[in-house]
Every structure is written in structure tokens, then in C-alpha cells.
Amino acid sequence: MRGIALLKKHSKKVLTLLFVTLIALFCINSQFYPDKNANSASSLRDYHVILDGKKINGVSENISSLTWSAKSDTLFSTINRPPAIVELSKQGDALRTIPLDFVQDVETIEYVTNDTFVITDEKDYSIYVINLDDQSHVSVVKKLQLALQKTPTNTGFEGLAYSPVDRVFYFFNEKKPVAIYRIEGLLENNDLQISDDKHLSRELDVKDISGADFNAENNSLLVLSHESKNLQEVTLSGDVLGEIALREGENGLSHDIKQAEGIARDGAGNLFIVGEPNLFYHFSKAPPR
């Protein structure tokens, strides 16, 4: 009987020690291996809307896509019908409109460097490298057409992001299905490398993709979804770093952004979004308290 009593006594000590050890291991694991969806590394924290759905003068409808030019410190957007490029100030004013006569449905634009941009035609998956100078002259440097669909579509490329360090472009198919194509060599004359990033596509938890941008500081992608009404920052492997909900009451928004169509981030970290039919949003980091 005494042996049984001693066994029970020691068993309680062993169980207590095991419990304490498990708690300690959990704390260590939480400290050194944080949740991959944690917001700590995100660049999307502490934003507040500065311009909340300002109507863009000179644009009545069909605004789509957005990019920031480091050369001019202005924004460039597109109008899909009739096809045109629109240069915007960071206050949401139209500075000039450049008609395009060689595309049917321009949906994306991405600044590359100096006067070089890349645009796409959603109807037939055509990709154009263009030069656009200060006098509004447009010249096509290169055209590439991806054989992704046999008939014209309205759910083609809606997002485009460029990594200047790797010189890699990410083309985002809107939906049916959501898809991401990684293209290297577009700006060079060497062999073009095109890959379908199925892993990244599977990891994105969005209903559609309506815009995108590349954050070189985090080596991450900003992915805009008007159907999901959110903006996500994700790593190149698809881990979610942070998110901004595009709904009334979030980040100072007075109403939902109903159809967000383009996202751009400038060199100071300001975020800009355009939405149908002609709405402009500017988000800035909230001042520290």
C-alpha cells in the first residue's frame, strides 16, 4: 500500500512538471515561430483615408487600373472604353488623357522606368511594352499575345505588378479562374520565360483580382479584390501579411468601395485606389499617437 501511495505522489509531480514544460515550449514556439498570417510584418497597418471617393474631373466612367511613376511622381490609370491612358495627380485630378488606337479593352498599366510602361488588352491577352513621353506620344516597343483563351473575354488580365529588382512581371487573371502568370525577359530580347504560379493562385483567398502592385520594401504583392472588398499584402509564396477592408467604417471610409479597380503605392508609402465609375481614394499612414 505504501508503494502505491509513493507512486501516486510521484506521478502528480511528473504530470505537473510535464504540464509546465509544455507551456514553456508553447511560449518559445510562439515567440520564434509566429503565425504566418500575423500582421506584424505588413506594410498595411495604420492607414487612414485622406481622399474618400473623390470624383475624378474629366473622367466620367470606366476607370480601371493604377500605377505610380517615380519619374513624374504622378499616377497613371486607364479607361477601357474608349481605350485611353489618364495621368492623375496624387490629389485625384486628371492632368492629361492619351487615346490609344491599337487596343480594344485596356485594363492594366504598370510603370517600369523613365517613359516605359506595360499595358494589357483584356480581350485577347495581349501585352504591350510602350514608351509614353511628356508630349503624349505613344510608341509600341514590343507586343506579346498569350494563347490563354480562344475567344474574346471580359475576365482576363485585371492586375499587373512589376518587381524592379528581379525584372519580373506578375499578371493577374481576374477570375474564372483566378490565375497568376510570372513573366521574365519581357523587357529584354533574350528568351521569354512564362510560368503559371498555381501555388500562389491557390493560396489567395479572394473572389476575384481587380488590381495589384509590388511592394519592393517587403518583396511582397498588394492584391486588390473588388468582389471580396479588400486589399491584401501577401508574400510571393502566398502567406498573408496584412489586409485592409474596403468597407464603410474601416480606416475612415464613409462608405464601401463598391468596385475597386486599381491600386498603387508611391515612394512615400501612400496608397491610392481608383474605383468605378470615376472615384479616387488616397490612404496615408496615421500619425503616431
Higher pLDDT, 3 or 108: 108
What CA–CA distance (Å, rounded) separates 41 from 214? 15
| The predicted structure's pLDDT at residue 42 | 77
- Lookup result for grid cell 496624387: 90
Is residue 242 pLDDT above 60, yes or no? yes
Per-residue pLDDT tens digits for 205-219: 899 999 999 999 999
Question: What mean pLDDT do residues 239-244 have?
Answer: 94
| The predicted structure's pLDDT at residue 34 | 40
* DSSP codes of every residue in 118-163: EEEETTTTEEEEEEE-TT--EEEEEEEE--S-SS--SSSEEEEEEE
Is residue 243 pLDDT above 90, yes or no? yes
| The predicted structure's pLDDT at residue 158 | 79
| The predicted structure's pLDDT at residue 205 | 87
Q: Is-contact 215 163, C-beta < 8 A? A: no
Is residue 2 pLDDT above 70, yes or no? no
Q: Is-contact 68 265, C-beta < 8 A? A: yes
What CA–CA distance (Å, rounded) separates 53 from 181? 31
Question: What mean pLDDT do residues 80-91 have?
Answer: 95
pTM listed for this prediction: 0.83
Higher pLDDT, 22 or 253: 253
CATH 2.40.50.140 fits 42-285, yes or no: no
Is residue 130 pLDDT above 80, yes or no? yes
| The predicted structure's pLDDT at residue 10 | 52
Question: What mean pLDDT do residues 42-65 have?
Answer: 93
The C-alpha cell that represents 248 in the structure block: 464603410
Per-residue pLDDT tens digits for 16-36: 555 545 544 444 443 433 444
Domain extents in the chain: 1-33, 42-285
